[in-house]
């Protein structure tokens, strides 16, 4: 499964990009996006999944 952010759920709080800036970035649309080519296996990805307040990150 590919790592993804559900844009219908994401509130744009920015927490995941703070926790794991190697993988998540805030887009011009105000929502989080997975950085192309990022290492989705980094431990901080799991932390971001756990910490997202609306459960928008999945894989």
Binding site for ligand SF4 (CB under 6 A): 5, 10-16, 32, 52-54, 56-57
By beta-carbon proximity to ligand SF4, the closer residue of 14 and 37 is 14
By beta-carbon proximity to ligand SF4, the closer residue of 41 and 55 is 55
Please, is 3 exposed, middle or buried when counting C-beta atoms within 10 Å of its C-beta (0-12, 13-18, 19+)?
middle
CB of 10 to ligand SF4, least distance (A): 3
> Which residue's structure tokens are 């794991």?
20
By beta-carbon proximity to ligand SF4, the closer residue of 18 and 41 is 18
Q: Name, in order, each residue with C-beta under 8 angstroms of 36's C-beta and a sequence gap of 6 or more.
A: none
> Which residue's structure tokens are 């290492």?
39
């Amino acid at each position: 499964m590919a790592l993804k952010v559900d844009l219908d759920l994401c509130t744009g709080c920015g927490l995941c990009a703070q926790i794991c800036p190697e993988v998540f970035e805030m887009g011009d649309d105000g929502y989080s996006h997975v950085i192309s080519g990022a290492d989705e296996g980094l431990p901080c990805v799991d932390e971001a999944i756990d910490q997202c307040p609306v459960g928008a990150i999945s894989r």
